[in-house]
């Protein structure tokens, strides 16, 4: 691992624990400092409000030149998150920049929970419902939050 990459990960990890983003905790795994256990509170005013969602975040060998890979471990009903927990978000793909940090990624995912984008879906069935029967989709998202993201 490049020492620059190692140092960057250490600095970001320290900043995340010292000044965590609101409603998000990201804890490095004891055995692998590139792997983070993330818990994200559903944003207030969203269908995910009140839920605590578990995610995993992994920093690739060539981080920060490549984006982290992040996925939801908690089941979630969202047009931009598929049933494997993969997330459709531009900064995790073609809009990634080494200037971005883990913190930015987590805040962007949290923002995605507040404003789903059914026009760029990963889960087509969910996106179709979101577009055609939004009330129903929101109710289902709330139900899944209650079932899978609340103790």
> Which two tokens mark 2?
């490049």
Q: Please check whether residue 71 is in contact with residue 87, taking contact to mean a CB–CB distance below 8 angstroms.
A: yes
Helix (H) or strand (E) holding 110: helix 102-114
| Alpha carbon distances (Å) from 130 to 27, 31, 49 | 33, 40, 18
Burial class (CB in 10 A: 0-12, 13-18, 19+), 125: exposed
Annotation marks residue 88 as catalytic: yes
Q: Which of 57, 88, 141, 149 is catalytic?
A: 88
Count the neighbouring beta carbons within 10 Å of the beta carbon of residue 98.
12
Annotated active-site positions, please? Answer: 88
């Amino acid at each position: 691992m490049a020492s620059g990459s190692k140092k960057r990960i250490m600095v970001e990890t320290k900043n995340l624990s010292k000044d965590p983003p609101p409603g998000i905790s990201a804890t490095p795994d004891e055995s692998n400092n590139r792997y983070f256990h993330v818990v994200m509170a559903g944003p207030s005013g969203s269908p995910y409000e009140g839920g605590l969602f578990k995610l995993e975040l992994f920093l690739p060998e060539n981080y920060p030149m490549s984006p982290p890979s992040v996925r939801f471990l908690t089941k979630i009903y969202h047009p931009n998150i598929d049933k494997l927990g993969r997330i459709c978000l531009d900064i995790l793909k073609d809009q990634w920049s080494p200037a971005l940090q883990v913190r930015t990624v987590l805040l962007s995912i949290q923002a995605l929970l507040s404003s789903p984008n059914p026009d760029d879906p990963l889960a087509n069935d969910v996106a179709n419902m979101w577009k055609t029967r939004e009330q129903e989709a929101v109710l289902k998202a709330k139900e899944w939050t209650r079932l899978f993201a609340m103790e």
